[in-house]
Chains A and B, each alone.
Chain A
Amino acid sequence: MAILRTEKLDKWFGGLHVTDEVDFTVETGEVHCLIGPNGAGKSTFFKLVLGEHAPSGGAILYDGENITRAKPFERIRRGISVKFQVPGIFQALKVRQNLQIALQHHLQGATLNEEIDRLLEFLKLKDAQDQLAGSLSHGQKQWLEIGMAIALKPKLLLLDEPTAGMTPDETFATGEMVQALNAQGVSVLAVEHDMAFVRQIAQKVTVLHFGKVFAQGTIDEIVADERVAAIYLGEVHA
């Protein structure tokens, strides 16, 4: 059963075909990484799934339902959640209030406070809960945003370069968080550059190139694929 499926998903920007009839599937319970050289169309594909761009053609199915025309917040309410590349947090608000805003949809009163405490523990942000989110370190901001994303209890978590700007230690800790979430049944789609991180978390890898699916497989298959190595070095323009 697929949690997310795109069928001939298509996007033109003027004369530029940035997403070229992409058929793509994330199976339920899977951690799936999307990689590709700069300009491969990863970000556009991500925004199409989120609903920030309207596709030029094709369909997006989430949990069997067609969400191609659904608004972004409607997709979130159905169980998709997202962490952006640049930490999308509420800088001028306290860490605790950031999580409260994410959680107040479905919780209130004492249960709300318990859940905030549980998340602070998971995110290693217990000591920083009364700081302003803007004063956190870069890695902590990334974790806070992951926390806000998972506060929604998503079935599908979208991660856009979750480890951008992180130290190797922070990257590894982030990988452990993703694995812990996946163990709880959350499906994950991550766009990522850092191959060490991809190796740590990915059960399946898809390579995008010029808006098309170029290769697909396990991380070992992808690394062994000479054509993939070639496009990263800029030799093949298939």
Chain B
Amino acid sequence: MSSRNSVSSALRLLEGPQTLGKGPGFWAGFAVVLALACAYPLFADGYDVGNNVYFFNWAFMALGLGLIWGYGGALSFGQTAFFGVAGYAYGVLTINLGDAYGLTFFSLVAAVAISALFAAVLGYFLFFGRISGVFLGIVTLSVTLVLERFMSQTAGPEWAIGSARLNGFNGMGGMPSLTIPWPGGDIVLFPDVALYYLTLAILVVVYLALRMLVNSRFGNVLVAIRENPQRAEMLGYDIRRYQLGAFVIGSGLAGLSGVLYTAWGNYITPSSMGMSAAALPVVWVAVGGRSDLTTTLFGTLLVLAGFQYLTIYGSQYALVVMGVLLVVTILAAPSGIFITLGALFSKGLRRRLKRERA
């Protein structure tokens, strides 16, 4: 009985003050979008479907940054550090352990845990050292750039962990894809329809879980810290713990992105932790609207698709366009494009826009 109560009260948190969208209308829309996403492989070539898993791979890092920055008010400019650490960790683990017996999934979990642990140690010094505002961005950016430099000079044969060569600037390859153990032959999740469904399922679970998290008591305190850290502390909350908690969860999600990306392309390079890589998640999250999970998710997918389009069709200026997009967003639509455009049609969003501008 009590367990049923706790399940139903957890489900109630899917809607709340910290998330846009409630009621049958929203969930009907959610079901339609999910159905379309599920139906997509029926109408497309397996190769294309596999390629497009790429877009989902990044969404976790964006949602994590939305949690840390949009909800917690702490701008981390170095989420790619956790992406890279987890990607390399997956490579090292799977190259040494192999892909039998579901060990790739063990490696996935272990690599995410390693990135979360790294975030816990770094975050401890950041938040318990009361580093905030622009300095938080500078320190986190420095960390990711240091990691990029470090990994770039690991070309020599002495840089190997077990049988995994780190390979310096050229990057590490040859790690196995995610592999499901199956009687009569393991199922290898090459970039194809099966990997698409797995990644989509993880994305849906993470999205819904984050909705519950931000509408919980934890989420209440997190937005309170964003609004007024002194007042939050003077209500008896140890705000450092809450900020650290959000940072570890958000960075673990960046790690999940790193693992999924590495397993998808069987490849990871130091430049995944470089300057432009570090800036891009900030652009995705800002353009979509960082103060909400749904706008963050769709903004990320939209900007990624646009970036991909520009890169493929010959433009050398995709990165410049991203920079312009960020500047325009900050000047013209600081709440993100969805909330700004939506405000043209919805009174509730107009109110929200007004208060976010205030």
Contact = CB atoms under 8 A, between A and B. Distances in A.
A93 B351 contact: no
B257 to A, nearest CB: 29
A92 B231 CA distance: 14
B236 A97 contact: no
Contact of A77 (B223, B236, B239, B351): B236
Given A76-B235, A100-B220, A101-B220, A88 B230 contact: yes
* Residue with the highest number of chain A CB atoms closer than 10 Å, among B223, B233, B234, B351: B234
B223 to A, nearest CB: 7
Contact of B238 (A73, A88, A101, A104): A73
Contact of A90 (B227, B238, B351): B227
B4 interface: no
A135 B358 CA distance: 10
B237 interface: yes
Contacts of A71: 238
B347 interface: no
Interface string A69-100: 00111001100011010001111111001001
A132 B17 CA distance: 12
Interface residues of A, number: 28
Interface string A128-161: 0000101100000000010010001000000000
Contacts of B224: 90, 93, 101
B228 interface: yes
Interface string B205-245: 00000000000010011011001101111111111000000
A94 B17 contact: yes
A73 B220 CA distance: 17
B158 interface: no
Contacts of B234: 50, 72-73, 76, 81-82, 84, 88
Given A100-B220, A148-B235, 5 more contacts: A101-B224, A102-B235, A104-B220, A132-B355, A148-B231
16 contacts: A50-B234, A76-B234, A84-B230, A84-B231, A84-B234, A88-B231, A90-B227, A90-B228, A91-B227, A92-B223, A93-B17, A104-B217, A132-B355, A134-B358, A135-B355, A148-B235
